[in-house]
Amino acid sequence: MDPNLGRTYNQTSVCLVAAARGDGVTVGDDVTAQHYLDTGRLIPLFGLRIPSPEAYYLVRPLKAPDSDAFRLFRDWLIEEAREHPRWFSRFREA
């Protein structure tokens, strides 16, 4: 990316704050941007909503040992990921 083209942020929360401040536009999701949309600080461009498939990645160094702590965390994360679509459906209905 060419930094001479303008500011570039890599965290959604920072992007939303910058866009609400008037620094430009950003891409956001319903959950993270909801407050900004509800308060009118941001508005969707073109009324466009693009569905996105859910993707979760748990990454670690290739040669890291497969410890009990890692397996417990992995199993918890998988369960949370399975619950997320149900939570998100309830969020959208509210």
- The domain limits of the chain are 1-51, 53-94
Task: Give the model's pLDDT for residue 54.
Answer: 62
Cα-based distances in Å from 71 to 3, 64, 74, 87: 40, 12, 5, 24
**pLDDT in tens for each of the 94 residues of the chain?**
566 777 788 888 999 999 999 988 888 887 788 899 899 999 887 777 776 666 666 777 878 888 898 889 989 988 887 887 777 677 666 5
Task: Give the model's pLDDT for residue 56.
Answer: 61
**Which helix (H) or strand (E) is 55 found in, with range?**
none
- Extract the tokens encoding 45: 């461009």
Instruction: Give pTM, 2 decimals.
Output: 0.54
Neighbours of 70 (CB within 10 A): 13
Please name the residues in contact with 92: beta carbons below 8 A apart, sequence gap of 6 or more.
30
Task: Give the model's pLDDT for residue 53.
Answer: 67
